[in-house]
Chain A
């Protein structure tokens, strides 16, 4: 009798368990790859942290998916990135959020395409990343989109009559944006009077700034990262040159340079889908948590990675990813799912098409009194 009772109890318990777990929890292994050390560490750490916050929120919410986040360092080097990719794949990663920067991403995405591993890069914005690879998607704008959008924006709002461009010709990101900006500007009949370049190692910007100044440019377009941009602003200030400075997403972060006189960045405009000062609840929650954990305001890279993790989970849901699925088994389903989902994230409302490029609206912000405010004219 006792045995019978035990059996019944066991059965009830077993049924009970299945009933509670009608929808079983799926463990999803996502690997982040980015430069956690080295010269580009600031971007890799941002994406790593942004992704970690999204994972923390998703796991705490206790939905269908519990995420295991792997983190690998690529030091912004293509070769190291490939090793990092192999290492996370050995740890049974099912999909990749990464890589953060363009050059390593081109190397890793080629391999991921061959091995059918779904990849979503938060911030590698070159089209070379997604080109001819059906399984690689982007959270950030592509370089062409940024360059063309900037030219259109400047033209539409009549911000300039003579334009100067200073870009990093050793960087695929910067060169890519410049090229499309240049094409679009020519098409719209805008006058570019000065084009000068620099490389990652340049410390002196006097020639570039003087060229723009001497040719009377009233707007300087800076499709570059914020560190050289801060040097350009200081050089321009020393020469009493005060044009409008117009940047793209790489300019984001200029206000967070420790010791930088932010009054020099007054009036700087940039085209970006993310602003840490946005008043919506989602952004504020993300920014607050980021500040609490890491003691700084998240930049666009962190936001892109944060949205990227949510996008991956949304796609995994649609694709019906199950426990123990291998990366190559779910790749095609993820590709199909990615084109169906709409993600409302901190960088805007995003949808994707088959090229892997994202569609979201860029907004221009202007720096006033040391903070970003929406630009209206």
Chain B
């Protein structure tokens, strides 16, 4: 029973990583850049939802929508101001810019909302599900997060496979130059990718803070890094891979802490990542792309 309860906690944590990893993998898969500011967009989304709930007393769903709209605009702005001018620069330059953007967002949040941590009010008060006569509890929030994960994963897969914009995204991902020659507006496609990725970040932020309620300017950074790890673990660029990677990472982290040592929890997570990458360099579900010379 203790094991089951740890497993549930692991899945609960993992589903949060998964939802953040979906955003990472989406942007990486299409724009071929690591948006290290993703974790901080999550934090901004959570703050917007916090303000909507705490100060403006809005309905939780309205708060969530507001956070999504704000983050979408923020994502498009970041992309347009910071990443688009560097489209032809080396990937290292873009990476450093993304790290800079991450710090900028953190410090802006520090300026606006202050350093004192805020406690995120539960967005949806869902009862817990009790199993085995109350010995095992699964919180409503966990179920909601898992459901959100599945819905988003299916929606994203369908979107990239079926819609025109989705197809354009896949083209851009495969070969930017060729896509441009085929009449695809690359800049607009990448902007759309960032818009979707950032809206996902807002959802992730709200779910993250509903489960783990401390909200401060650095809230997004560590979950962001873990989610990035999860995305690599699952095969970066792969949408189902991000979800599987996220959940596995959460389970490994919790079980490692529970049965090996709380002190080594994070070390175990990253050791597993190294082993996976040694055996499968493209991650669990990653495709090996052969470069034609």
User: Which A residues are within 8 Å of any B CB, using their own CB?
Assistant: 37-42, 45, 169, 196-199, 201-204, 206-208, 210-211, 214, 227-228, 230-231, 234, 238-239, 256-261, 296
Contacts and interface: CB of A to CB of B under 8 A. Distances in A.
Given A207-B9, A234-B213, 8 more contacts: A39-B216, A41-B110, A203-B214, A204-B9, A230-B119, A231-B213, A256-B116, A296-B116
Interface residues of B, number: 38
10 interchain residue pairs of minimum CB distance: A41-B115, A201-B222, A260-B119, A259-B119, A206-B9, A203-B212, A258-B118, A196-B262, A207-B257, A42-B115
Nearest to A256: B116
Contact of A37 (B6, B107, B208): B107
B9 to A, nearest CB: 4
A234 B210 CA distance: 12
Contacts of B9: 204, 206-207, 210
8 contacts: A37-B115, A196-B257, A202-B265, A204-B9, A204-B212, A210-B258, A230-B117, A230-B119
Contacts of B107: 37
A231 B266 contact: no
Contacts of A45: 115
Nearest to A169: B263
B137 interface: yes
Interface of B: 2, 5-6, 9, 12-13, 50, 54, 107, 110, 115-121, 128, 137, 139, 208, 212-214, 216-218, 221-223, 253-254, 257-258, 262-263, 265-266
A211 B265 CA distance: 15
A201 B219 CA distance: 9
Given A198-B262, A207-B262, A259-B50, A37 B110 contact: yes
A234 B116 CA distance: 18
A227 B215 CA distance: 10
Contacts of B54: 258-259
Contacts of B121: 259
Contacts of A196: 257, 262
B184 to A, nearest CB: 40
A343 to B, nearest CB: 28
A259 B120 contact: yes
B119 A207 contact: no
B288 to A, nearest CB: 32
A196 B208 CA distance: 23
B218 A207 contact: no
Q: Which of B5, B12, B222, B262 has the most CB of A within 10 A?
A: B262
B212 A231 contact: yes
Nearest to B212: A203
A63 to B, nearest CB: 34
B240 to A, nearest CB: 24
A204 B13 contact: yes
B67 to A, nearest CB: 16
Contacts of A238: 128, 137, 139
A239 B216 contact: no
B5 A258 contact: no
Contacts of A206: 6, 9, 12-13, 254
Contact of A208 (B116, B120, B262): B262
Given A210-B5, A258-B116, A203 B223 contact: yes
B218 A39 contact: yes
A257 B137 contact: no
A257 B113 CA distance: 13
A82 B214 CA distance: 31
A122 B71 CA distance: 40
Contact of A261 (B110, B118, B119, B258): B119
A197 B117 contact: no
B262 A197 contact: yes
Contacts of A41: 110, 115
B214 A230 contact: yes
Nearest to A36: B115
Contacts of A37: 107, 110, 115
